[in-house]
Structure 1
């Protein structure tokens, strides 16, 4: 087989890093895949990996170096101090300059202040929780009220800054000037799309230009079609942008990968409705689990300020309507009505508030976060996430629709039981090791969670079952499946197109 290059589009990740401090699910998954992709490339074949992003002056694709990609992901990592002072490690890829690159200090200095502030806040809350109830609960309420006032002041200041600033974006990551793709790309090479490219409303036109100019074969990884299948959970602009992206991009791709059988069904339904055909049926890529150095959880010191081990139930997810945090709020509110305060574990929401959760945030503030029985840990670092997973009683994941359900898998990786929804792809992520409820049946949800809290002996046996028998899927399996799909696409590119675009 002739040598070819897989050009991975990084444009959406660069754009994401300009506006966000921490990665969400898709960015974390892309990072983990890229970490192992080079090592999974077949040694016997001439398969190379390169990176591209949108160029200037209308150029649809320009080459960026592997070191610039490492800089990019370092800007989203939680190890700010080392990212400021240490050179980014090299990775085999397209040739790059030998000059050492360092990240800009200003965004990391702000991130360090944010992180130190969060640690102080978490430490105070933890101290209040450990005090005798007659003293600790009033202090916890007072601290929550003070944090609410400080947050309101911060938000007002942020709005003022935005009104008087020409840009509210983060300082961009320092990278070298992109290199022209002339002479680098050739017909038969692969253009791999595995991020959140749908955020770019003009991506379809860009993809068409890349195919026309360079003769590349697009291979698309689809995580889910939720904005199309369930538009009620998204702002109208997201729905319209995503729908337009699907209509423009999918007809240009004869090779599509998906992350679950549930997403595969949604994609097949979409293809059938549009009478589109692929070189092969949507290729289900096995999803890996974990993030960063998972072994750190057993050897590093505990992250400061987190709740005491065994005192809380964990829900890791961005706060948005579809994830169904409001259901867990209702469950804990009922627990407080029916059980003694001290018998109820704290419910920890680990993630940043996003879209369509204004009612939830208001209800939590109005109830002083259910008298301190709910805690919100915004944008937790990898260190904090490892500590939260390691020391929780169990995790919950009541989402109403998922392309996969990465927090379920992560919970099992840490040996922690997970109680989750029984809909869409979530049972694929948890298999026989998670326990499930119907998220549309409140009594079923409440009964399942209450029984799990009260049956501590059963919880220990469940933990032992997970630790003994759960076999996680490594990210290398994900990478190999992606490489195999690219190989099939490359072979088909040597033949006449199966359909007109």
Structure 2
């Protein structure tokens, strides 16, 4: 009996360790269905897709990698992608993520193929091109026709993956977090099947209520698709995740149970750029004094497109798809008004892909000769280019008509930049007191706000000081919140 009593603490400790281990072993499946399809044909991520990969990368940092999966709802099946052994940096970078997901579909860099059968020559020329890509990227790109950054980024990334049939590995205590825009009927049916057949917990992110609140700024047919998703998602969703208090408030106008809707705010962060394979990273290690003296040196080295010339000018930056809801036309008209008053006005850059309904903006720019050369569209910049644009701008402008969160505001603030922001929907939740607000429907209000930041350097400095003194929200914060909610529901 005494021996049993002596061993009791050990038994209890072992049992406690087992329980703790079971808690740690909870598996999370992150829906990436739309992102998976998008990366077949594209290398630049949209806002929602940026949320998916940023969250997945941070969850991968926090949890054991053999307990984190991507989930893809395809038309003919549902499969999981194990992230075991994959570094978060590869997952968070669009170039390497595309290579991982669709390795065979990434255009081959075939300038080394002629050496495939001659091993020593292959090793020699591979090393030669790696050296050239690191230290002489422009020469590399002229010689091969490929971006040096992409070539270096392919190193160490195993192309392709082995898909796992979800129903072969699913457990009842698994958690599925749907962060993607998986609104198609076959994807909805897939989630319904996951819930009815396997009983998994499903958390669904509501990114915005744009199709209902600002439906006239969306393409025809979006309302029907969105309402169908809203109605049917309630059959499989345990908890809805709203990305802002504003989105939660709008969602509760059509959802009757507030206890099942939690706000999980996104981040003031731009996390998808990995500098590990950049040319400047290698040079920084060798010549740190130059990078300390000249802060923009990394961008001068890494940006090899024509954008490097645009970075030399003073400019204000507007990031987002060129579509009516982003209010680009009013911003361009405000810039035109300023150009009539100030002869030495900085430039205005619109950075984003062309969306639907951008004809009016294009006509205005054509009629004014791009506001006499002061306005430029930078279509679909890469993450590296976008980061450089944020870092080197005077400030950003984001007079959107309505948002669920407002990623460009957080990204700009993350780089220490203030901005002109519309005072509607979720935007004050992101900008807080670190930006200047305007009435998005008034060109004169937008003009005045721009004017204040352009010519009142003290105001701009005050806002930048507020940014430096504010604890900004990170993607790690977002990921921790998701994990906490998942563990609460076990």
Task: Please report the TM-score for the alignment, with normalisation by the length of structure 2.
Answer: 0.74
Q: Is the CA contact 1:433–1:466 (under 8 Å) kept in the aligned structure 2?
A: yes
| Residues 434-482 of structure 1 deviation map (CA, whole Å, 9 limit, x = unaligned) | 1101112222221121222222343234334433x13221211100100
Q: Name the residue aligned to 2:404.
A: 403
Question: Is the alpha carbon distance of 1:451 and 1:278 closer, same or farther for their aligned partners in structure 2, counting shifts above 3 Å?
Answer: closer
Equivalences for residues 442-453 of structure 1 within 5 A? 442-453=443-454
Equivalences for residues 189-268 of structure 1 within 5 A? 189-198=174-183, 200-268=184-252
- What residue ranges of structure 2 are gaps of 5+ in the alignment? 1-18, 111-132, 143-157, 276-280, 282-294
| Residues 264-321 of structure 1 deviation map (CA, whole Å, 9 limit, x = unaligned) | 101222213xxxx365442334534122348888662322533244611111111111
Post-superposition offset of 1:428: 0.6
In the alignment, does 2:94 pair up with 1:77?
yes
Distance 1:229 1:393 in 2: 32
Question: Is the alpha carbon distance of 1:449 and 1:279 closer, same or farther for their aligned partners in structure 2, counting shifts above 3 Å?
Answer: closer
Question: Is the alpha carbon distance of 1:79 and 1:14 closer, same or farther for their aligned partners in structure 2, counting shifts above 3 Å?
Answer: closer
Distance 2:217 2:336 in 1: 24
Distance 2:347 2:104 in 1: 38
Q: Name the residue aligned to 1:128.
A: none
Distance 2:90 2:82 in 1: 13
Q: Is the CA contact 1:78–1:381 (under 8 Å) kept in the aligned structure 2?
A: no
Equivalent of 2:51, from 23, 29, 47?
A: 29
Count of residue pairs brought into register by the alignment: 403
Equivalent of 1:54, from 56, 69, 73?
A: 73
Q: Is the CA contact 1:203–1:249 (under 8 Å) kept in the aligned structure 2?
A: no
| Residues 170-195 of structure 1 deviation map (CA, whole Å, 9 limit, x = unaligned) | xxx96345222344102232121011
- What residue ranges of structure 1 are gaps of 5+ in the alignment? 90-100, 121-172, 492-501
Q: Is the CA contact 1:23–1:76 (under 8 Å) kept in the aligned structure 2?
A: no
Q: Name the residue aligned to 2:318.
A: 315
In the alignment, does 2:299 pair up with 1:282?
no
Equivalences for residues 419-458 of structure 1 within 5 A? 419-458=420-459
Q: Is the CA contact 2:244–2:426 (under 8 Å) kept in the aligned structure 1?
A: yes
In the alignment, does 2:298 pair up with 1:300?
yes
Task: Please report the TM-score for the alignment, with normalisation by the length of structure 1.
Answer: 0.72
Q: Name the residue aligned to 2:471.
A: 471
Equivalences for residues 9-408 of structure 1 within 5 A? 9-41=31-63, 48-54=67-73, 58-59=76-77, 61-66=78-83, 77=94, 102=103, 104-106=105-107, 175-176=160-161, 178-198=163-183, 200-272=184-256, 277=257, 280-293=260-273, 300-302=298-300, 303-304=303-304, 305-306=306-307, 307-309=310-312, 311-340=314-343, 343-408=344-409
Distance 1:452 1:266 in 2: 32
- Structure 2 SS opposite 1:420: strand
Computing the radius of gyration over CA atoms, which structure comes out larger, 1 or 2?
2
